[in-house]
């Protein structure tokens, strides 16, 4: 029995890479189908093989993390790319990505691209947002296409990590990857990247070796809804709320209308950014309005 990690899934085949960098083409055992288990890119597996093009996955090891869209497991970090301009910086969309990543227990890093397109005032505003996110604990990098070094400095985030890169269409995800590794030749600026719509919907997910780390080449998140998050769990997806929740008077406080709420007090005295709290309330309302699942 051999062991390895699935680095690509395509047309019912799973490509498993072993520690010595050999790749084996495998199928999943029928028993997985019966148990409603689907092997995912990123899975650590045990497999048997007759030759490198004819193997069978026998066991899937426990996963440390799992994403549904894109279907991938054992991710150690998500780099969320958002642009300063074209499209304009959108902190609500950024917070939406952050909440989804936090709900999966995955570390998030923020890249704000296209800084060179901003005016002096615009740069000042984005740097204020950067300071807020850094204060919360998120590593936040400002990137400019004019500054080649800004793309090289991101390479240390990739090293020794298994990374998924997420962000809306046109923010520069492919440009960043192509700068890091010119051999990739990923198509840039395709509207089909939007949120998994268009040409990329049927594209396979693959882990690519870049800068001593693995990066998922995927359209990112094809869905940005909060279907898997309950109202009472939302505040734990905001690290600065999580640190203060135990100080609320009422257990199960949703930090909306309840009295003696530590979160609302922290917003009032400037310890929590008001835009973050406003986004929290917006997301909370969205979750409450969700149709019940049966």
Residue 240 lies in a domain: yes
Residue 275 lies in a domain: yes
Looking at the structure, tell me whether residues 128 and 260 fall in a common domain. no
Look up the pTM and report it.
0.87
* 23 DSSP β-pair partners: 17
Question: How many domains are there within the chain?
Answer: 3
Q: Yes or no: say if 113 and 241 are a contact pair by the CB < 8 Å rule.
A: no
Looking at the structure, tell me whether residues 212 and 77 fall in a common domain. yes
Looking at the structure, tell me whether residues 48 and 101 fall in a common domain. no
Per-residue model confidence (pLDDT) at position 120: 94
Q: What is the CATH number of the domain that holds 106?
A: 3.40.50.300
pLDDT in tens, the chain (294 residues): 999 999 999 888 999 999 999 999 999 987 787 788 889 999 999 999 999 999 999 999 999 999 887 889 999 999 999 989 988 899 999 999 999 999 999 999 999 988 989 999 999 999 999 999 999 999 999 988 777 676 677 788 998 999 998 887 777 777 777 777 666 665 544 434 443 343 444 467 889 888 889 998 766 666 688 888 999 999 999 999 999 999 999 989 999 999 999 999 999 999 999 999 999 999 999 999 987 766
Residue 226 lies in a domain: no
b (16+ CB within 10 A) / e for 32-44: beeeeeebbbbbb
Looking at the structure, tell me whether residues 206 and 100 fall in a common domain. yes
Residue 208 lies in a domain: yes
Looking at the structure, tell me whether residues 28 and 52 fall in a common domain. yes
Per-residue model confidence (pLDDT) at position 190: 43
Residue range(s) defining the domain that contains residue 146: 67-217
Per-residue model confidence (pLDDT) at position 294: 61
Looking at the structure, tell me whether residues 40 and 179 fall in a common domain. no
Q: What is the CATH number of the domain that holds 38?
A: 2.40.50.140
Looking at the structure, tell me whether residues 282 and 154 fall in a common domain. no
d(CA 230, CA 224): 15
| Chain-centroid distance, C-alpha 206 | 15
Answer with the one of 161, 190, 217 that is the final residue of a domain: 217
Q: What is the CATH number of the domain that holds 277?
A: 1.10.40.50
Per-residue model confidence (pLDDT) at position 283: 97
d(CA 165, CA 158): 10
Looking at the structure, tell me whether residues 45 and 87 fall in a common domain. no
d(CA 33, CA 37): 6
Answer with the one of 217, 251, 269 that is the final residue of a domain: 217
Looking at the structure, tell me whether residues 38 and 110 fall in a common domain. no
Residue 143 lies in a domain: yes
Residue 293 lies in a domain: no
Cα–Cα–Cα angle for 56, 62, 64, rounded to 5 degrees = 125
Answer with the one of 162, 186, 217 that is the final residue of a domain: 217
Looking at the structure, tell me whether residues 198 and 151 fall in a common domain. yes
Looking at the structure, tell me whether residues 115 and 183 fall in a common domain. yes
Residue 40 lies in a domain: yes
Looking at the structure, tell me whether residues 138 and 244 fall in a common domain. no
Q: Checking phi first, is residue 81 left (phi over 0); if not, alpha (psi -120 to 50) or beta?
A: beta
């Amino acid at each position: 029995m051999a062991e390895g990690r699935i680095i690509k899934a395509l047309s019912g085949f799973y490509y498993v890479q072993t520690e010595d960098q050999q790749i084996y083409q495998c199928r999943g055992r029928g028993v997985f189908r019966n148990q409603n288990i689907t092997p995912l890119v990123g899975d650590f597996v045990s497999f048997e093989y007759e030759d490198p093009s004819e193997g069978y996955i026998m066991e899937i090891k426990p996963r440390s993390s799992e994403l549904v869209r894109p279907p991938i497991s054992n991710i150690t970090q998500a780099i969320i790319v958002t642009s300063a301009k074209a499209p304009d910086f959108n902190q609500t969309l950024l917070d939406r990505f952050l909440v989804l990543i936090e709900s999966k227990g995955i570390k998030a890093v923020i890249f704000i691209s296209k800084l060179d397109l901003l005016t002096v005032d615009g740069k000042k505003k984005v740097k204020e947002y950067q300071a807020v996110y850094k204060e919360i604990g998120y590593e936040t990098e400002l990137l400019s296409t004019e500054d080649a070094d800004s793309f090289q400095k991101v390479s240390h985030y990739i090293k020794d990590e298994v990374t998924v890169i997420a962000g809306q269409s046109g923010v520069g995800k492919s440009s960043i990857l192509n700068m890091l590794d010119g051999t990739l030749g990923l198509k840039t600026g395709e509207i089909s990247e939007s949120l998994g719509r268009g040409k990329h919907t049927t594209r396979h997910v693959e882990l690519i070796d870049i800068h001593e780390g693995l990066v998922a080449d995927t359209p990112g998140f094809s869905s940005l809804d909060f279907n898997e998050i309950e109202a009472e769990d939302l505040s734990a997806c905001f690290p600065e709320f999580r640190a203060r929740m135990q100080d609320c008077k009422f257990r199960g406080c949703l930090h909306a209308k309840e009295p003696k709420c530590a979160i609302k007090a922290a917003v009032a005295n400037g310890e929590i950014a008001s835009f973050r709290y406003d986004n929290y309330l917006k997301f909370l309302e969205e979750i409450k309005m969700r149709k019940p699942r049966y």
